Structure 1
Amino acid sequence: MKDYIALASKGYHEWWRYLVGAFLIFIIWQVGSIPFLAAVTYKLMAEGNGISEIGNYEVQMGTLDSNLTFFLMLFSFAVGFFGVWLIVRFLHNQKFKDLLTTRAKFDWKRVAFGFSIVGFFIVIMTILDYVINPDDYLWNFKWDQFIILAIIGIIMVPIQATFEELYFRGYFMQGLGVIFKNRWLPLIATSLGFGLLHLGNPEVGKLGYIIMVSYIGTGFLLGIMALMDEGLELSIGYHAGNNLITALLVTADWTAFQTESILIYTEEPMVGFDVFFPVLIVYPIYLLVMAKVYKWKNWKSKLFGKVILPESTR
């Protein structure tokens, strides 16, 4: 079976299971946030401060050591990852591999390619901007802190990225696909959902809702990767590469991840064509390169065609 979405039909795929499963995964994911909130609360109380602003993002980010904050934020995604496995295995009786790929084995080379293509672009663009606008950055490299950050990032960021891919491009995409028997609805719904997931990010508060173009556009990019390549390896690699390289290389006081990165961007961000440039120019280039490397064909049917389930599973 080469249809990634149709793989869900090998397990229990009634609509109510996806409704219940999506809710339970979300709850399990949020339970993973308890250690972070508990640590922040304990620190505030130990310092004699009130905890009335515990829900304030700036308070959360500034209370604990940045590396500890980074780890505890990512820990919730590790718990969410376990939640996906639990629901897929026991509520749907589906092989976990079938949530990942149509290939006989998970393709780590594809993960590495997805990671490399975005990682290379981020590094090159950051170096160029640093050379052209050095006053916009603060050199922040501290060996002891950076090594800890790197260890946490290398272990935890791929888990975070994989969870989000499993939840959106995996669980939701397969579920909507087998329920509605098409591909376009899962692609649109998961891309919009992925964008809305980031609605509470501090970048939105700083730059305004226009930044949602980037988040939703990235959702479409990752969704197209999954559908055209019939698996999540490329999207997992891309997602992990984008998040990890960014976390290690550059941060700012208005970004979701505030880390002990090599550089700190100190300028006030401005909304311009740079919001649209990746979505309109860079992302299509990524897709064309991947299409060439992996010989993607039948774009219309893979992105907008019907999902045909085996007779025995309908």
Structure 2
Amino acid sequence: MTPGSRYPAHEDLVAPGRSRSQLWRLLLGLGVIAMVSYGLQIVTFLVLLGFTSVEWLLVMERGRTPIAMLILLATFGFLPLGVGLAARLLHNRSFFSLIGAPGLTVQQFIRTCLGGTAVFAVIMVLPPYDFGAPLVANLHWLTWLGLLPLSLLAVLVQVSAEELVFRGYLQQALAARFSHPVIWLGLPSALFGAAHYMPQEAGDNAWLLCLWAMGFGLLMADLTARAGTLGPAIAVHFVNNIVALLILGSPSSLFGLALYLLPYEMSDVAALRPWLWVDCATMLVLWLVARLAIRR
């Protein structure tokens, strides 16, 4: 058995990039993605600055109001533009070839979303019913419901963009060059974890949250390789972020669209670390449920 033979479906994603799999193309492609996304973000911020103030832009960066959070999540939509440009110019492959067969992608996305929603529904009705202290109300429920369609769309844009970069472009380009899964599963996951390093908000918990994100990335990479599409990874990421951004937000940042706030900051070592074990267990259950959802 070859190292990658346990992931036959992954070849459907990787094959279009094998003819142009040189490392310089990957590195240049990452540069293209960064330049396009950050360039368009800067343009967006400059345009907003004409209507607002520097102080409001700082509020937006932390996602502390609904409109700020919606704009912040929407700017993730610039990443797919860079991904599509890099894929076409440097690897001679289409944007949609990074995602997978459309019908199968949608089917796997829906089935995994339903399974993930069921997991969180069960968690919500099981004890304990608080986090050591009462939840803090953030948005009025009528406001929250009114914003929900836009909020769901914004979260879907954000998670889809991240999956396209890490499990789409980066993972597939590495797999086209290197046969061993340790490289093309591990490296994108490590970079995904590093991208979630937030010492200002998380303090002494920053490295633990970084490791958590790395583990999450590894499981999403495995799902993508097993499924042959980005559908399941986007679905798990989507359901997870609905809970984390729209239902139970952190008071540290990115809480503008949340119905409730957790009763502790991300930097609170004593309060957060026990719940990280719960998050790890939940992550594993979501991964297992997704694997059941994609069985053919």
Aligned residue identity for 2:276 = V
Length, aligned pairs only: 283
Contact 1:33 1:76 in 2 (8 A): yes
Aligned with residue 125 of structure 1, among 100, 123, 140: 123
Distance 1:204 1:8 in 2: 40
User: What's the counterpart of residue 48 of structure 2?
Assistant: 39
User: What's the counterpart of residue 228 of structure 2?
Assistant: 230
1:206-247 residue CA offsets vs partner (Å, 9 max, x unmatched): 633222221111111101101112221100111112112332
Distance 1:209 1:83 in 2: 29
User: What's the counterpart of residue 84 of structure 1?
Assistant: 83
User: What's the counterpart of residue 24 of structure 2?
Assistant: 16
Distance 1:241 1:254 in 2: 21
SS at match of 1:266: coil
Distance 1:127 1:6 in 2: 41
TM-aligned CA deviation for residue 198 of structure 1: 0.8
User: What's the counterpart of residue 197 of structure 2?
Assistant: 199
Distance 1:20 1:123 in 2: 43
Distance 2:96 2:257 in 1: 35
TM-aligned CA deviation for residue 204 of structure 1: 2.9
Residue segments in structure 1 that go unaligned for 5+ positions in a row:
297-314
1:23-62 residue CA offsets vs partner (Å, 9 max, x unmatched): 11012121232224653686336xxx7x9xx7xx668438
Structure 1 segment 92-103 matched on structure 2, within 5 A: 92-101=91-100, 103=101
Aligned residue identity for 1:231 = T
User: What's the counterpart of residue 61 of structure 1?
Assistant: 62
Contact 1:141 1:261 in 2 (8 A): yes
TM-aligned CA deviation for residue 19 of structure 1: 1.2
1:173 is the counterpart of 2:174: no
Structure 1 pair 26–114 and aligned structure 2 pair: CA distance change class (3 A)? farther
User: What's the counterpart of residue 212 of structure 2?
Assistant: 214
User: What's the counterpart of residue 135 of structure 2?
Assistant: 137
Structure 1 pair 111–138 and aligned structure 2 pair: CA distance change class (3 A)? same
Task: Give identity over the alignment, percent.
Answer: 19
1:26 is the counterpart of 2:34: yes
Contact 2:36 2:78 in 1 (8 A): yes
Distance 2:291 2:75 in 1: 34
With normalisation by structure 2, the TM-score equals 0.81
* Structure of greater Rg: 1
Distance 1:123 1:41 in 2: 43
Residue segments in structure 2 that go unaligned for 5+ positions in a row:
1-7
TM-aligned CA deviation for residue 5 of structure 1: 4.8
1:47-80 residue CA offsets vs partner (Å, 9 max, x unmatched): xx7x9xx7xx668438xx7122112211221111
Distance 1:25 1:241 in 2: 26
Higher mean displacement: 203-212 or 77-86: 203-212
Distance 1:197 1:253 in 2: 20
User: What's the counterpart of residue 278 of structure 1?
Assistant: 279
Contact 2:255 2:261 in 1 (8 A): no
With normalisation by structure 1, the TM-score equals 0.77
Alpha carbon RMSD of aligned pairs, Å?
Answer: 3.1
SS at match of 1:259: coil
Distance 1:96 1:87 in 2: 9
Contact 1:130 1:137 in 2 (8 A): no
TM-aligned CA deviation for residue 273 of structure 1: 3.6
Distance 1:202 1:243 in 2: 21
